[in-house]
Structure 1
């Protein structure tokens, strides 16, 4: 049985629903799987071509070196030439190599850019190179990106993703229909605890709210290299630091329960592609505060939430205060958010991918299976 990181597995299971089998080019680890990983639903139809073994995972994963490149190229060539189609998940080290090889060796190619598609300050050179290759005539298949952007080639396709199935969306919609603002206000963060996620800015804002006598409860869900520093910051800046709890990483079902608990979700990272936490929170009727970059402004436009400049703790303070002062406005925003978000489920993702590939690869409309028996990831 094959295992991987739970949100990734949920999305890849959608591809396994579309194709007879799937081959994954990836590092391979001996078991047991780490916490919060999950098995593929149809592991018997999946195989792995490893380019490195026992590389480690999460924070302990070894960085890719030049010495790894020959093994990566060998694995990619084997994967590309042994399957009927090839999908690249970018950006990444392996995908950078794949962008040169796949169009050369495979007729049916497609790609997903799982990050912020517009350029941004401090963007890595390798990310800019991968975007340029994906935009160019060299890549002759559809490329799905988060959001609708001006002046893009025809093969750049606005798209979405999801890790909630139809039943989970249905339950979230029921919760959203009954949502009311709590007192004290309940604030939630869901994501990896890295510097770029700006959780320290959220703590700065909460510290200021405490000084202004605005009551709140906050849960910070996730793990990462900044966790210890953030816990220290909370204790140093807040008198009542017990109002903030760091849960660490949680199983997806427990994350969903926290969406039900919360009033507001805050995710003001330096950069975001399609922030799943915001999409999930909106489905539950949470009022979300995101950054003003990438796709987030499109998600929260038309008064479905608020956006702020990353690093602006004062803006966070003012928005949270406004929410507490106008509970009726909160409920209206919550309803608009839930109405927009409920259409994004794993099932709708599956249908959208199938329709896209049938159209772009000119396959029979009835099914992909007669023409494409395997797809490589």
Structure 2
């Protein structure tokens, strides 16, 4: 099977969830003898085409800034998609399959243009479906974002969603539910289980983007509320984002500010894992999660996971009864934090639940979907 992955950002030069997924699935397929090529921006030095862990990385455009004013750049996405066209068109007959990463949409549309009139199927991977979130993200330009998302959803292709929640949201603007396959995101369970815990860890940990829908402010308030009854408890917050300054300022106003540490963004993934391994509780009251990989990572690290119960979050699907769900409100979150810090554990062992998301399993599921697309049996 000769597969082309399309992603303007390429792991390990840019370290995000979508590009990490492509890398982990791609290198496992390559190890089985499949030919894997990732078409992306050339964030590396040297030749345009290089080999990385058995996967061919093909630079179709030079590195570029991905964000403008804290939002993904539309001009960057269009530029990449335009530059992708001649390279993918030149090699399309060599590929049995094209797998395009969704956001920022335009590369999917460009990939479809290239595959038109060929026997090469197009598969997409949906990490999130934004729907009304476009209003918050783009303001008066939201109708443009919604239109592109809907156009992409209705472009003929084979869709994979990373969770049932994401699949259900996709049906609101595009394909029928029985046309959507669900293949979760993954993690290296062995890597997490063998990581040495941080020497100076925290009792409660958050790791993720500091954005409004993550509701880290609720976690700060809830921790401060229970800190009197847990006099030795500490909270660590890992991450960066548009809410960082406001959250740091809010933390300083709390009664127990001395027990809250804002660590910012940690460059090394192993450092994040080390803090997870050292923590007793991992809490993330986010109300919008297309999957929520940090929940799975924290379960693999044997944390008691606390997540928000919300219809736009896949947290309940990811953790099931191997963690605790709570309404995204300060008092409710504080109550569950108190129980977890007192030693209350979920019904199912978190580490056992985490193993279903190991990359080996995810790669097998993805390969089965890719073969069905090629065989026409999807």
Pick the TM interval, shorter chain: 0.7 to 0.9
Q: In the alignment, which residue of structure 2 is the partner of 1:294?
A: 313
- Which of structures 1 and 2 has the larger relative contact order (alpha carbons within 8 angstroms, sep 6+)? 1
Q: In the alignment, which residue of structure 1 is the partner of 2:13?
A: 4
Q: In the alignment, which residue of structure 2 is the partner of 1:344?
A: 357
Maintained 8 Å contact 1:282/1:337: yes
The answer to whether 1:193 aligns with 2:206 is no
Question: Which of 25, 41, 52 lines up with 2:40 in the alignment?
Answer: 25
Q: In the alignment, which residue of structure 1 is the partner of 2:370?
A: 357
The 2-side partners of 1:279 and 1:127 are apart by 30
The 1-side partners of 2:74 and 2:294 are apart by 32
Q: Secondary structure at the match of 1:216?
A: coil
User: For structure 2, which runs of at least 5 residues remain unmatched after alignment?
Assistant: 1-9, 137-141
Instruction: Provide, for residues 192-211 of structure 1, a one-character-per-residue CA deviation record: whole Å limited to 9, x for no partner.
Output: 22233221221121222235
Instruction: Provide, for residues 89-140 of structure 1, a one-character-per-residue CA deviation record: whole Å limited to 9, x for no partner.
Output: 113143463476356355311010012588769575566446544654x423
The 2-side partners of 1:64 and 1:299 are apart by 31
Q: In the alignment, which residue of structure 1 is the partner of 2:59?
A: 48
Shift of 1:261: 0.6
Maintained 8 Å contact 1:88/1:98: no
From the superposition, tell whether residues 351 and 93 of structure 1 become closer, same or farther in structure 2 (CA, over 3 Å). Answer: closer
TM-score (normalised: structure 1): 0.75
The 1-side partners of 2:145 and 2:69 are apart by 23
Q: In the alignment, which residue of structure 1 is the partner of 2:85?
A: 76
User: For structure 1, which runs of at least 5 residues remain unmatched after alignment?
Assistant: 33-38, 176-183, 365-377
Shift of 1:189: 0.6
The answer to whether 1:94 aligns with 2:109 is no
Shift of 1:12: 2.5
> Where does 1:194-233 land on structure 2 (aligned, <5 Å)?
194-210=211-227, 215-233=232-250
The answer to whether 1:304 aligns with 2:316 is no
The 2-side partners of 1:246 and 1:286 are apart by 19
TM-score (normalised: structure 2): 0.74
Shift of 1:316: 0.8
